[in-house]
Structure 1
Amino acid sequence: MRIQVKYILPILIPLLVLILPASAFPFETLTVMQQRAIALFLLAALCWVLEPIPIYATSVVVIVLELLFLSDKGLIWFRSNAGTAEFGDLLQYNAVMATFASPIIMLFLGGFFLAMAATKYRLDINLARVLLKPFGNRPQMVMAGLMMITAVFSMFMSNTATTAMMLAILTPILAVFKPNDPGKIAFALSIPVAANIGGIGTPIGTPPNAIALKYLTGDNLITFGEWMAFGVPFVIVMLLLAWVLLCFLFPSDENQISLCIKGRFLKTPKAITVYVTFAATVLLWLMGSSHGMNSYTVALIPVAVFSMTGIINKEDLKKVSWDVLWLVSGGFALGLALDKTGLAALLVNSIPFENYAPEIVLLGAAALCLLMANFMSHTATANLLMPMMAALGMSMVSLSPLGGETTLILLVTFAASLGMSLPISTPPNALAHATGHVNSNQMAKVGVILGVVGVALSFVMVWILRMVEFL
């Protein structure tokens, strides 16, 4: 029965929305285009939650349906009355298609090329080997080192790939512990926790960050370096809190453990090219626009260098996480539909948010995002909420003293990455749960505490950014 429901609801409910008369909706005026956008939004939400098809496929479907039924180059029968007050304005087809090649998609693509090259030439393993040496042999300190390295890698690599690599490094350590040693649980949880937290540190660390950048434009524009200026300190504090929590909840019975990671830095011309390009790209990102380039332009440098030198070949291109890029682009397309049809503003204006204290609105938005992110993809959560949060931030005057749209988007973005209470919350959680060393209750206990504390800390972070006049 459940299988049938997950296929029927995403079709039935949007169709019902399409055939209802405009008077059935609680809005004074609703155009045909806005009604279609509502149906598209519900289709995307139900497919992303119930997953009758892969979530990246939902994004592709969203883009195609927008082109067919909402664009100026769609089916002629669905745009015959375009331009009238009752119908609304059509979307530009090239704007919809451009979501596949958004500058933010290029930023992510550059990050993927860096990550693939680093893995292919063992830069990641060798950095882990070097960075772990200063942490000694005490279990707590070794775990701190593993968490730090995982977080740093997650800022520039896929959280999933980072977790898989670090869990492989962790396997010989877990074999040292006795069967009932709680320290085994702490180590198994430390990797996904650090991966989820670490992704917050850079715009390319996790898709919700990239989605947020889409709406932080104009006066609200935040550069790569500026994001790291507040993202990295947030990650450091959260990592410290997570480490203390894991040590407290699951203290190890071992006094010493030994960790041996074998490897050496390659010195071939291609390996050196990877090292130099990686360092140069990150440095250019950190310099902001002082060199005249934005982060999107810089992101294409490793793409060109690695393609030209054969460091990334056509076989490697097949390993690019195209599903993530499609998922993010589908979110951009959905946001475009909600914005250009005026639906996002209509939904926001239909609720008297101005009657509520701005602090309550901010807390409610962050809490809603955190709750959703625990039960569905972080990217899908951001895709659904961000367009409406952007509209709310622009329309709610009482939010202006607190940073307006930028504050709201940052809080929601951070909350999306902090949803890590269940094995299904994130791929890193699923990988850790699959090791068999941690159960759902233990993961939920840590995830809930860190999620709530993280949202509270994000409010503190925003307050500090307001104090230094960053927002």
Structure 2
Amino acid sequence: MIEWRKLAICLALFLVVLVLPADWLPLADLNPIQQRLLAIFVLAAGLWILEPIPVFATSVVIITLELMMLSSAGLGWLVADYRSADLLLPYTSILNALSSPIIILFLGGFALAVAASKYELDINLARVLLKPFGNKPQHVMLGLMMITAVFSMFMSNTATTVMMLAILAPVLAAVPEGDPGAKGLVLSIPVAANLGGIGTPIGTPPNAIALQYLEGANAVSFGSWMAFGVPFVIVMLAVGWFLLTRFFPPKMAELNINIKRKFRTSPRAIIVYVTFAATILLWLSTKLHGMNSYVVAILPLAVFTATGIISKEDLKLFNWDVIWLVAGGIAIGIALSKTGLAEEIAHAVDFTILPLASVFVGLAILCYLMANLMSNTATANLLMPVAVAVATTLMDAGQLTGTTSLLLVVALSASMGMVLPVSTPPNALAYSSGKINNKDMAKIGIAVSLIGLTVILCACLLSV
């Protein structure tokens, strides 16, 4: 449903930036194409923050406006005067956002998630992996968090949360009324889902968006990402579990989870099991076979569609809204880079005179605050190209040796936005269970995220 008042505010900001004399803008010496892009950027920020229209629709609007107002194939009377000045973007570079390797990476991840759910691989793995944790509530909570985090590394954290809350539902029905342990169990799932996504490049969109900009000498492989992501997840899961057991101590002595499912043994189910395992192994062994993460990602999609495991109806289950959201971010990133506007924004403040730590802390806090109030994907989409320009400026000044550390700060800080029900889909799903309130979520969310933010900043600054 469209919220017309909020939409009017966003459009008004867009028009103001678009028609203001360039001299009145805080950025000096903008050419007309850069000013148009700045207006589109402001519009995107407003639409993503206020959400008068769905967030994926904002991405479609961004791509459309860029094609019409900035591209070589744009609306004639809008772009005719700038063809000779070579200011326009090739329309193909904007449309390439829809076929970016990052998009393929997500499609491969969605294929694995849909196939695993269709053949109950996810639930059966949860059944097997929860057995060793026994019946004590604290141990069951730890098991739930570990399973949720592992699934969130390779599946949508939204789908993982839905599955884990479904597993937990019959157990919660048997928990005594008023036992704070019930709140802890419900909250453990979104906390673990939000943290688990950090472990791999496909675990959460901000990771993949960062990967889009980490190229050449700064490139990070799937295995390299996991080498720092998984230890961070393990540490933060331990912190989250400790805090949950202290904030919401259970009164019940035992907690039983009974999942009456069995692994399927049909040929197609076996193909799913083998393909799932093979894809993960291939992602972790790029140096051995030479295929990067993007090439490997398309293999499960090919196998599952060719064998009928994923039908055309199953394709509708992919998170296409996330695909469009990421594509819009890629498109605005391409435009910011190719028009030079990102560099102009980065140069609006002389970061070279600031202590390096203050630049990292400032970006992390800005990203963290935005991610708590809006989609963490939208936050990464807006800040990542600016962070690249800032990192490049610092590299030119000899203060940084690469862009990796600063981009990781933005990506990981975005994933720390977990304080409010609106901050992430797992938070919203847990809140919708009716077992927790805003205060409960904020209590654990603030504690875990601030500790995580501190760990991220310390690790990235030490690596500089």
| TM-score range normalised by the length of the shorter chain | over 0.9
CA distance in 2 between counterparts of 1:136 and 1:59 reads 46
- Tell me if structure 2 keeps the 8 A contact 1:110–1:301: yes
Q: Distance in 2 between matches of 1:72 and 1:66?
A: 10
Match of 1:190 in 2: 188
1:229 paired with 2:244, answer: no
Amino acid in structure 2 at the alignment position of 1:241: V
In structure 1, what residue type is equivalent to 2:95? Answer: M
Whole-Å Cα distance in 1 between the matches of residues 77 and 266 of structure 2? 61
The residue that corresponds to 2:72 in the other structure is 72
What are structure 1's unaligned runs of at least 5 residues? none
Q: Tell me how far apart the structure 2 counterparts of residues 78 and 347 of structure 1 sit (CA, whole Å).
A: 24
The amino acid of 2:30's aligned partner reads L
1:295 aligns with 2:284: no
Contact 2:372 2:417 in 1 (8 A): yes
Secondary structure at the counterpart of residue 91 of structure 1: coil
Aligned pairs for 1:38-53 (under 5 A) are 38-53=38-53
Contact 2:87 2:339 in 1 (8 A): yes
What does residue range 32-111 of structure 1 map to in structure 2 within 5 Å?
32-82=32-82, 89-111=87-109
Query: CA 1:90–1:455 in structure 2 vs 1: closer, same or farther (change >3 Å)?
Result: same
Question: Is the 8 Å Cα contact of residues 69 and 75 (structure 1) preserved in structure 2?
Answer: yes
Letter in 1 for 2:375: S
Give the SS at the match of 1:367.
Answer: helix
Contact 2:72 2:83 in 1 (8 A): no
1:54–1:247 CA distance, 2 compared to 1 (3 A)? same
State the Cα distance separating 1:359 from its structure 2 match: 0.1
User: How far apart are the structure 2 equivalents of 1:403 and 1:262?
Assistant: 54
Q: Is structure 2 residue 372 aligned with structure 1 residue 374?
A: yes
SS in structure 1 of the partner of residue 64 of structure 2:
helix
Residue identity matched to 2:73: K
CA contact 1:411–1:459 (8 Å) conserved in 2 = yes
Deviation at 1:383, TM superposition (A): 0.5
Q: 1:40-439 alignment to 2 at 5 Å?
A: 40-82=40-82, 89-397=87-395, 404-439=402-437
Does the aligned pair in 1 maintain the 2:394–2:400 contact within 8 Å? no
Question: Can you give the 5+ residue segments of structure 2 that lack an aligned partner in the other structure?
Answer: none
**2:125 partner amino acid:** L
CA–CA distance in structure 1, aligned partners of residues 269 and 218 of structure 2: 39
Amino acid of the structure 2 residue aligned with 1:206 = T
Contact conserved, 2:326 with 2:377, CA < 8 A, in 1? yes
Q: Tell me by how many angstroms 1:28 deviates.
A: 3.4
Structure 1 position 84, deviation (Å): 6.0
- The answer (yes or no) to whether the contact 1:394–1:405 under 8 Å persists in 2 is yes
What letter is aligned with 1:82?
Y
- Is the contact between residue 330 and residue 381 of structure 2 (CA under 8 Å) also seen in structure 1? yes
> Cα–Cα, structure 1 residues 27 and 166, in superposed 2: closer, same or farther, change >3 Å?
closer
How far did 1:357 drift?
0.4
Cα deviation, 1:329-380, whole Å, max 9, x if unaligned, reads: 0000001111111111011112121121010110010011011100100100
CA distance in 1, matches of 2:27, 2:144: 53
Measured in 1, the distance between the counterparts of 2:66 and 2:110 equals 28
Instruction: Give per-residue Cα distances to partners, 1:80-117, cap 9 Å, x unaligned.
Output: 222566xx611111111110010110001000000000
| Structure 1 Cα separation of the partners of residues 98 and 395 of structure 2 | 33
Counterparts of 1:212 and 1:397 in 2: how far apart (Å)? 18
Q: What SS does the corresponding residue of 1:79 show, helix, strand or coil?
A: helix
Aligned-pair distance for 1:4? 4.3
| Alignment RMSD (CA, Å) | 1.5
Q: Is the Cα–Cα contact under 8 Å of residues 354 and 398 in structure 1 kept in the other structure? A: no
Secondary structure of the 1:81 match is: helix
Opposite residue 35 of structure 1, the aligned amino acid is Q
TM-score in terms of structure 2 length: 0.97
Residues 376 and 417 of structure 2 are in contact (CA less than 8 Å); yes or no, is this contact kept in structure 1?
yes
CA contact (8 A) 1:72 1:92 kept: yes
1:462 deviates by 2.4
Query: 1:12: how far off?
Result: 1.0
TM-score (norm 1): 0.96
**Structure 2 counterpart of 1:387, one-letter code:** P
User: Distance in 1 between the 2:115 and 2:36 partners?
Assistant: 43
1:375 and 1:207 map into 2 onto residues whose CA distance is 17
8 A Cα contact 1:358 1:399, kept in partner: no
Deviation at 1:193, TM superposition (A): 0.4
Letter in 2 for 1:97: L
Query: Over residues 104-132 of structure 1, what are the superposed CA-to-partner deviations in whole Å (9 max), with x where a residue is unaligned?
Result: 10001000000000000000000000000
